[in-house]
Homo-oligomer: A and B are copies of this chain.
Amino acid sequence: MENFVFYNPTKVYFGREQLCHLGEEALKFGKKVLLVYGGGSIKKTGLYDRVIAELKKADLQIFELAGVEPNPRHTTVNKGAKICKENGIDVVLAVGGGSVIDSAKTIAITAKYDGDDCWDLISRKAVVDENLPIMSVLTLSATGSEMDVGAVISNTELNKKWTIFGPDLRCKVSFLDPTATYSVSAYQTACGAVDIMSHIFDNAYFSNKDEMDMLLRIQEEVLKTVVKFAPVALEKPDDYDARANLMWASSWALNGFLYDGLSQDAICHRFEHELSAFYDITHGHGLAIIIPRWLRYILNEQTAPRIKRFGVNVFGVDEKLSLIEGAEKALDCLEEFFFDTLGLKSKLSDLGIDESNLATMAKNACGRLGQINGFTVLSIEDTEKIYRMCL
């Protein structure tokens, strides 16, 4: 069992009508707020008006960056950082899902960089060791960005989707109101559910290392929470219990508790970030297509015990099946969940992706090491084969 440090100082207001605390919390950091949001759905739902009203009530000065993309662009981040520098912004407030929060985080650190381009920081060409404080009002249960230390930004010029980490890139305060996710579409709800599960798979439920038993068991309960409540939210988008369970599951899947002391391999994310870097698809959908194929490809006597255990404990697969049969059944259940219950299309070709970039993506996914380590070792050739299984 590995040593670890657990430290997660994000303050979370969870539940209905907690936004009344937004102004007082923002004021702790100063008077000038940069409000960051996406394509405008928060204007349709009324959340934008509510946020503005709360900020005004606290006499805060509001600046805005709208139009953050679903796979957020480094160019948009640069615009936000410029606003911060020109206006002496004190705190960056994200109102949206993971893309918006990730952008706000990267804006917050780029605001302290004396260059203009956040990609210098993301690509480690330059380093900055401080950032503006970040707050979030969450509208999508998926990425866990509301309590974690990372942000993922896309550079469409280079076809790169890379992650930046920083100890202070955790939100200082996050507002999680399950009713703010009532308007999330069935498709985005499904993709979010897969994203939550993938954070547990990647950090690293699927591993052969010596782990703390309690954490594995709790990971399974969070997985079961998603399996139970995502279909309820699809059926009845305004089911408070379902939305609340999914929302809190999204935060805990990636805030440290469930994986501190376990390995953090990010295997599924390595595969998927190439896909959405090249094709700008929805992250959770890419993950859904890859995960079962990856697990089928690596299924053998060494990996079967954990895959079978997953099936038994999360999907109720019969414990009496043999290791390989049980593991295969587990993957059948996972595919059924992703592609039938959640209704996601199961092939890359359904998303308009052909084989043309697979070789490049496989090479990129394997990075400098030329392989993907973790549950098993995957060569570039293995990686490309797995992509091909997804076509």
Contacts and interface: CB of A to CB of B under 8 A. Distances in A.
B7 A3 contact: no
A336 interface: no
A27 interface: no
A85 interface: no
B257 A257 contact: yes
Nearest to A13: B5
A5 B1 contact: no
Nearest to A229: B213
Interface in A1-28: 1-18
Nearest to A15: B3
B214 A222 contact: yes
Nearest to A176: B6
A1 B221 contact: no
Interface residues on A, range: 35 or more
Contacts of A10: 7
Contacts of A212: 241, 244-245, 248
Interface string A232-273: 000000001100110011001000010011000000000000
Given A5-B11, A14-B4, A16-B3, A213 B240 contact: no
A218 interface: yes
B213 A225 contact: yes
B15 A214 contact: no
Contact of A12 (B6, B17, B217, B220): B6
A65 B13 CA distance: 39
Interface string A24-56: 000000000000000000000000000000000
A245 B214 contact: yes
A224 interface: yes
A160 interface: no
Contacts of A229: 213
B5 A240 contact: no
Contact of A9 (B1, B9, B225): B9
Given A214-B249, A218-B218, A14 B18 contact: no
Given A228-B213, A241-B213, A14 B260 contact: yes
Interface string A166-204: 000000000000000000000000000000000000000
Given A217-B221, A217-B225, A218-B218, A241 B1 contact: yes
A10 B5 CA distance: 10
A14 B5 contact: yes
A329 to B, nearest CB: 22
A240 B257 CA distance: 19
A15 B2 CA distance: 7
A315 to B, nearest CB: 15
B225 A221 contact: no
B13 A245 contact: no
Nearest to A215: B248
Given A6-B14, A12-B7, A14-B6, A1 B244 contact: yes
Given A3-B15, A252-B257, 6 more contacts: A2-B15, A3-B17, A5-B12, A9-B9, A212-B241, A213-B245
Interface of A: 1-18, 212-215, 217-218, 220-222, 224-225, 228-229, 240-241, 244-245, 248-249, 252, 257, 260-261
Lowest 8 CB-CB distances: which A-B pairs, in order?
A3-B15, A9-B9, A7-B11, A214-B225, A217-B221, A6-B12, A214-B245, A218-B221
